[in-house]
Amino acid sequence: MSREGAEYALRARADERDRISGHLLDLESHTTYQVLKGAPLRGLTQRRWMAGQAALTALWTLYDAYRGVLRDAEQIRASRGRLGSDQLAALTELLAGRSVVLKAAVKPVEQRSLLPEVDERLTLDEAVTRMDASFQEVTDALADIDAVWSAALPRLDAADALLREVTTLRRELDAPDGAVQAHTAPADTARADTARADTASAGTAPAGVAEELGRMRAAVLEDPLGSPPAPHDLDRIDRLLAGHRADLGEALRARREYGRRREDLAAALDRVRAAESESRLAHGAVVVKIALPPRAAPTSRVDALRDELAALDASADDWLVRARRLTSLEQAARQAEEQARATAAAMYGLVGRRDELRGRLGACQAMAVRRGTAEAPEAIRLHERARLLLWTAPCDLTKAAEAVDLYQRAIHGGGR
């Protein structure tokens, strides 16, 4: 090796040493590496990390020997301003020869031989290649473990946060609240207290979720490579807790708003009663004019709805069940009012239909007079039949409409 070549090689090796040192420092400061150093690992992860630690120990041993060679080379270079032939030969041997010595490891007695153990000698390039292989083994293990932790731990943290939220909602739901007693008879107070006590059944976190999350977290921390949580299990827990949170929220809203919603429901039932009364009046006014089938008589739902409301006031159901019953009652009240008003409108509409048929019959007769067909015997017969049906009370609208249609076709010569 020439003097210039030796100078260049030494500078390059010094840069290489600094780069390797930086990588090793970065490795030891890596978050996952720091966690693994004190983690109680087991299973596949323990075996993989033990192999990684052995590789890292070998790496450091080799790095120390590698660094010692470079230190000796730097001392030789610093000993003289201009290298002599002896110094150049020694420097060349260190930089290009098998100068990195790995001492033979002391083996357990049962593995020893009486023959001398042979130290291993490597060139600097061979030492770097072997160090890189050890480094890759360690970083590959870190990357695989970190990938599982990065995927699973945030989801477990989110599930734990959701579980805490469910627990908080449950405590809030279990707290005493007098909203229901404002509308509960004194005799039913004990049942209302029972309803609040039974709220725990609606607010209890799904059985075993906390324990399951704890087992998942322990498994992913202790053996992420061998026992990672299945994504479908995490999805199932997320759905379960989210659904429970929604149920608890609905139950809480029902408890907070029960008094107001009950008053609104009572007012809605008053509107139902008024609408049903209007429907009965309409039926009474129309049935004397229009022939109606028995099933057309309006039916009332308001009393049944009031009984359901009274039963809800005295209910011992948990708040989630009561919330759903209250919502169902509100919907039923709206539907009953809409149906009663629609029935009244339909009743009055039948009288309008009769009057429309009367006007149509008169228009047809006037047209027959202009055409000179009004005096035809068949026209006279059909007109008389239609007139009789339309001016008879109660009027059969179906037959009257058919009669008007027959008369109209007759005066048009059988067409429309």
Mean pLDDT by groups of 10 residues along the chain of 416 residues: 83 93 93 88 93 92 93 84 78 88 69 72 93 95 94 94 90 65 38 40 62 92 91 92 90 86 93 95 94 90 93 84 88 96 94 94 92 87 94 94 93 65
Q: Write the CA distances from 346 to 84, 268, 333, 335, 342, integer angstroms.
A: 121, 22, 20, 16, 6
Other beta carbons within 10 angstroms of residue 308's beta carbon come to 19
Residue 7 is predicted with a pLDDT of 82
Cβ proximity of 394 and 291 under 8 Å: yes
Q: Report which of 158, 166, 168 is spatially closest to residue 235, judged by C-alpha positions.
A: 158
Helices 209-222, 231-287: axis angle to 10 degrees equals 150
Residue type, 289: K
Rounded Cα gap, residues 134 and 55, in angstroms:
5
Cβ proximity of 318 and 173 under 8 Å: no
Please calculate the CA angle 14-16-18 and round it to the nearest 5 degrees.
70
Residue ranges per structural domain of the chain: 3-106+115-150, 349-411
Rounded Cα gap, residues 245 and 167, in angstroms:
9
Residue 200 is predicted with a pLDDT of 39
Cβ proximity of 27 and 33 under 8 Å: yes
Residue 148 token pair: 């599982």
Give the residues across from 290 on adjacent strands: 395
Rounded Cα gap, residues 255 and 241, in angstroms:
21
Residue 66 token pair: 């590698």
> Over the chain, what HEC string results?
CCHHHHHHHHHHHHHHHHHHHHHHHHHHHCHHHHHHHCCCCCHHHHHHHHHHHHHHHHHHHHHHHHHHHHHHHHHHHHHCCCCCHHHHHHHHHHHHCCCEEECCCCCCHHHCCCCCCCCEEECHHHHHHHHHHHHHHHHHHHHHHHHHHHHHHHHHHHHHHHHHHHHHHHHHHHCCCCCHHHHCCHHHHHHHHHHHHCHHHHHCCCCCHHHHHHHHHHHHHHCCCCCCCCHHHHHHHHHHHHHHHHHHHHHHHHHHHHHHHHHHHHHHHHHHHHHHHHHHHHHHHHHCCECCCHHHCCCCCHHHHHHHHHHHHCCCCCHHHHHHHHHHHHHHHHHHHHHHHHHHHHHHHHHHHHHHHHHHHHHHHHHHHHHCCCCCHHHHHHHHHHHHHHCCCCECHHHHHHHHHHHHHHHCCCCC
Rounded Cα gap, residues 190 and 316, in angstroms:
9
Cβ proximity of 82 and 91 under 8 Å: no
Place of tokens 């992860």: 45
Residue 107 is predicted with a pLDDT of 54
Q: Record the pTM.
A: 0.60
Kindly tell me the sign of the dihedral angle through the C-alpha atoms of 18, 22, 23, 27.
positive
